[in-house]
Amino acid sequence: MATASSVFSEDQPQCCICLDVFTDPVTIPCGHNFCKNCIIKHWTVNVQCQCPLCNKLFDRRPELHVNTFISEIAAQFRQLGFKEITSCSKQQQAKPGEVHCDVCTEIKLKALKSCFECEASYCETHLEPHRRIAGLRKHKLIDPVQNLEGRMCKKHQKPLELFCKTDQICVCQFCTESNHKRHHIVSLNDEYEGGKARLGQTEVQIQQMIQERQLKIRELQHSLVLSKEDGDREVEDSVQVFLNVMQSVEETLAQLIDRIEKKQVTTEKQAKSFIKELQTEIFVLTSRGSELKQLSHTEDHLQFLQTFPSLNSVPPTKDWSEVQLYSSYEGIVRRALAQLEEMLTKTVKKQLVAELQRVQLYAVVVTLNPDTAYPKLILSDDGKQVTHGDLKQNLPDKPERFNSCSGVLANQSFASGRFYYEVQVNEKTGWTLGVARESINRKGEIMVCPRNGYWTVWLRNGNVYHANTSPPVCLSLRSKPKRVGVFLDYEEGLVSFYHVDAAELIYSFTDCKFTEKLYPYFSPCLNDGGKNSAPLIISPVNNDIPVICLMSRFKKSLK
């Protein structure tokens, strides 16, 4: 008896389309026989009703007649050859994830090629008609792929073989002659290579961003350690101060320690929140990096270009360049001891000296901005001095210039951190100093108060000092300052003014809500017939902290 393989090699009952034993064989008017599904699918794909064997054309799709004789022979043939066919098929059976043959019925074999026109994939056996039949040989065959429908132009039913750079979509040849005429068209391969190169750049950028955020985590963790050290040191100093005070102030000491510890808890929560955000961003960026790496390894041009636009961008992340971890304890001891001012005058004085020395560590270089100066103000060439000159200069009225208020801003702005500078006010009978936000009104008469974006103190008539709150607070100073120190802690919302020579606090604006850049503000006030002709001078900071103390502090900060 002939085996199934020998039957296949001879002219036995097999469909010339699927090259398999007939299933539901039918006869068409020219006398040739085919599987019912094979001939229906063939006519559906090729539109014209033509016999695949003799190429005879029919005016309309002919009626199909069941061929019972061939059906019986096919059934007997299956009984004889089924076991051997099954054994042979297992050797080429499609594995999970591989493209399988769309024609195979009993066992799905691994596809050798996919056909764009037929929108089907074929194993080696069922691919034979595309190599033998003249009409099928013209079909475009490619390596087997899934989802052939998605690789066809929905409008022209042609393969998506080109890429329109103008509209950033894949197109077929007919598209280039219609909607995409005169557009910049390139091959899929060229765009694939270019996109892969850009993908590599994005991968590098992603990795760099991950490293930056990892570095930021280490920076925040280091800042947290320093913050805890500062807090611990502040607690220790505070305990030492209050141990030298009468038993009656123990309650005040307890309140102070509690406040410092709460501030430290807040700082730790803030640090953990920042770190959690950074770790989340690293996870998102790492995920995107993995997706990009996976995409960069694909050789499927169409899949790459269809996926590339959605992945070739950096996920939205927070700008961490200005984020810092701050905790400030400046003035905590002083404000606590203020309740016991009469009894603790010497203690407060000692604390003020230490406080001034600490804020002086944040000294910055400040220069005056001539583009903001009121036209009657005269600035030195080095931008360190300003005085009122009575005569109005012919200067362009720029948006940033004060046109009525006798003021000038610094070139430097501060949007985070701590900063300190000193101004010499000796021999002046009037001046205004402080900080102002970037969006202040600079035209017409201006009331310098926090509501209008100014945090300042002033001197008038030689001996009247005010903190320009709403309403103003009259200040009582024991001596007239020669130098005024201005300290800003942006995150803490603190602006403090110091009588530098006496190591005394003039005034502090606390709990301020800063939301934009702040600029140092200066006003030498009117010349007053020469009585107030002395300039305001931005002077260098002379810190009297012993060198050994400075070295100790810097070494700790570097650990």
Specify the range with the lowest mean pLDDT, choosing from 194-208, 272-286, 521-535. 194-208
For the chain, how long is the longest CA-to-CA vector? 131
pLDDT digit string, tens, across residues 135-194: 787 787 877 877 776 677 878 877 777 899 888 888 888 898 888 888 998 988 888 888
Residue 340 is predicted with a pLDDT of 67
Residue 490 is predicted with a pLDDT of 95
CA-to-CA distance for 156 and 172, rounded, in angstroms?
8
Residue 436 is predicted with a pLDDT of 97
Give the chain's mean pLDDT.
83
User: DSSP secondary-structure letter at 441?
Assistant: -
| Banded pLDDT at 347 (limits 50, 70, 90) | confident
pLDDT digit string, tens, across residues 83-140: 444 444 444 776 776 788 888 876 778 887 888 777 788 888 788 888 888 778 778 7
Place of tokens 């100014």: 454
Residue 62 has pLDDT above 60, yes or no: yes
Alpha-carbon dihedral 185, 186, 192, 193, rounded to 10 degrees: -130
Residue 197 has pLDDT above 80, yes or no: yes
DSSP 9-77: HTT-SB-TTT-SB-SSEEE-TTS-EEEHHHHHHHHHHH-S-B-TTT--B-SSPPPPEE-HHHHHHHHHH
**β-pairing, 169-171 with 536-539?**
unpaired
pTM for the whole thing?
0.48
Strands (E), 96-187: 113-115, 120-122, 141-142, 162-164, 169-171, 185-187
Specify the range with the lowest mean pLDDT, choosing from 139-153, 231-245, 456-470, 491-505. 139-153
User: DSSP secondary-structure letter at 214?
Assistant: H
